[in-house]
Amino acid sequence: PPGPTRGLLCPRRVNSSTEGARTGHSHYVTPAESAMEGSDCTAKEPPLANVCRQNYGAAQDPVEPAVPRSASHVTGSSLGKAEVACGRRWRKTAGNIKCELLRRIILISVPRNYDPALHPFEVPREYVRALNATKLERVFAKPFLASLDGHRDGVNCLAKHPKNLATVLSGACDGEVRIWNLTQRNCIRTIQAHEGFVRGICTRFCGTSFFTVGDDKTVKQWKMDGPGYGDEEEPLHTILGKTVYTGIDHHWKEAVFATCGQQVDIWDEQRTNPICSMTWGFDSISSVKFNPIETFLLGSCASDRNIVLYDMRQATPLKKVILGMRTNTICWNPMEAFIFTAANEDYNLYTFDMRALDTPVMVHMDHVSAVLDVDYSPTGKEFVSASFDKSIRIFPVDKSRSREVYHTKRMQHVICVKWTSDSKYIMCGSDEMNIRLWKANASEKLGVLTSREKAAKDYNQKLKEKFQHYPHIKRIARHRHLPKSIYSQIQEQRIMKEARRRKEVNRIKHSKPGSVPIVSEKKKHVVAVVK
């Protein structure tokens, strides 16, 4: 019989994956488990240490006869013996699968005592792991994947294929539309679609055709598949309009598309006249977007600094919000029907709840120049923005600061950006005629992960989250290299902002209390909401 030291070496709790072992020890609760059970761990005071000591008191007791009760208890010194015994038995009863399995389990399982008293340094050890994980994340952060070149002018618009992840469409400033294959990273088709700019491009929800609008006052519908050999590239339909269309978007379910220009027109695909046009004031509307969830809703933004929402069914505008500066484009959250984000000229992005337009839900500020485009991740948790400051940034929806900034030396003003529908990649089209492909998570490993890799990844992620507030880890995680222009711009703007803030504080301080209203940052940018 094992002596008193056995209590230490062979803890009675064995980490085996057998169900029996687990149920046998159901009385024991590790701190983490208990934390999970009491999900709001704020309520209970943890008597964990005491509990554990009680439970392990028995194991330390030298008098207690340490006879293994079940297979899961066979550990430590008795392990070898058991193995030998098993081996002998197999020779007799070959093919005893159960025994074989049991043997494997025994061999794999690492006996471990989870008593917190025996692990006094768990927090420091985890801290070090978190620090390493954060460092490694920065080491492996190589987001740039590919650059697709071929356009002969700046890329003005991008579109995703709704059914195919590998296909991307782009329209350039010289009226050329190209279709790309992302896996092969080459252009598979080139169409001279318009004279002048291709202002907007969108795919039909089924993925069989796509629409383009250009400076030549036409709306053209094209087939997704190229023409047969010897046939000429011709659009399926061409609609000749009276004015220039500046944007186009397709309905998410039906054969309806919307264009914008002087007014928002809703078109039936089968007709050459819009079935409904909606206006509110007279100004050029730069972009129109269908709501992906409540598909009858549209949002548009115009040059007179406003964002207008429309209801297609009731054929009427709903509400208008006027911001401090012009909004370039908006994007609806694909998971939250009433949330949209507007990319504004004043370097900021504004996330609105469309039912309460007077205050944006969040003001996202990090860009140092006008934001030109925005697109949501299909998970609805993040979005990417393209800016005139030659960078793209990724913002969490609920954070006002970006979590990531991408830039390369050759990338000029980024005009359009898209997040692929599997939420793994980001594409951006810029002034210098290239489309670039980025990873959405800079340090993510591409390709298939083994289960251990996956577990390690998850664990590291959790560690980073857990220790993210610690100053050193925070510093490393936040560190990004920026081009000099952006960096100096940030510094400059910081100074300007501080000066403005100081002035406001002074004004409040030296005027009659209450005479100078204190306006929150969120409200500051909204000029008015028009009913």
3-state secondary structure of 342: strand
In the bound state with another protein, the residue whose beta carbon lies nearer, of 104 and 112, is: 112
Residues in region 16-35 near another protein by CB under 8 A: 17, 22, 30-33, 35
Cβ closest to another protein, residue 395 vs residue 467: 467
Here's the x/- map for another protein, 278-297, by CB under 8 A: it reads as --------------xxxxxx
| Least distance to another protein, CB of residue 282, Å | 14
Two structure tokens written together for 82: 């058991």
- Asked if residue 396 binds another protein (CB under 8 A), the reply is no
**Interface pick for another protein out of 181, 284, 423, 493 (rule CB under 8 A):** 423
Per-residue binder mask for another protein (CB under 8 A), 354-383, x = binder: xx----------------------xxxx--
- For another protein, the binding residues in 44-83 under the rule CB under 8 A are 46, 56, 59-60, 62
Asked if 87 touches another protein (CB under 8 A), the answer is: no
Measured from the Cβ of residue 43, the count of other Cβ atoms closer than 10 Å reads 7
CB of 313 to another protein, least distance (A): 4
Does residue 2 interact with another protein by CB under 8 A?
no
Pairs from 439-445 (Cβ < 8 Å, separation ≥ 24) = 439/142, 439/143, 439/145, 440/377, 440/382, 440/384, 440/394, 441/143, 442/137, 442/140, 442/141, 442/142, 442/143, 442/404, 442/406, 443/136, 443/137, 443/138, 443/139, 443/140, 443/141, 443/142, 445/140
Q: How far is the CB of 36 from another protein (least distance, A)?
A: 6
Q: Interhelix angle for 97-108 vs 77-92, to 10°? A: 160
CB 206 within 8 A of CB 255: no
- In angstroms, the first-to-last Cα distance of the chain is 86
251 binds another protein (CB under 8 A): yes
List the strands of the sheet with 526-530, edge to edge: 285-290, 297-302, 306-311, 316-323, 526-530
**Contact residue for another protein among 2, 15, 71, 190 (CB under 8 A):** 15
Q: Binding residues for another protein, how many (CB under 8 A)?
A: 89
Quick one: which of 132, 243, 316, 491 contacts another protein (CB under 8 A)?
316
Residue range at the interface with another protein (CB under 8 A); choices 168-176, 250-258, 385-393, 494-502: 250-258
Please give the Cα distance from 131 to 108 (Å, whole number): 30
Contact with another protein (CB under 8 A) among 162, 226, 396, 483 = 162
Q: Which of residues 326-355 bind another protein (CB under 8 A)?
A: 334-339, 354-355
* CA distances from residue 511 to 203, 212, 456, 519 in whole angstroms, order as listed: 57, 56, 58, 15
Judged by beta carbon, residue 39 or residue 515, the one nearer another protein is 39
Stretch that binds another protein, among 39-47, 87-95, 342-350, 476-484 (CB under 8 A): 39-47
DSSP labels, 406-449: E--SS---EEEEEE-TTSSEEEEEETTSEEEEEESSTTPPPS--
Comparison of 307 and 411: residue with beta carbon closer to another protein: 307
For the chain, the residue count is: 531
Contact between 126 and another protein by CB under 8 A: the answer reads yes
Q: Which of residues 427-456 bind another protein (CB under 8 A)?
A: 455
Q: Note whether 12 and 59 are within 8 A (CB).
A: yes
Amino acid at 79: L
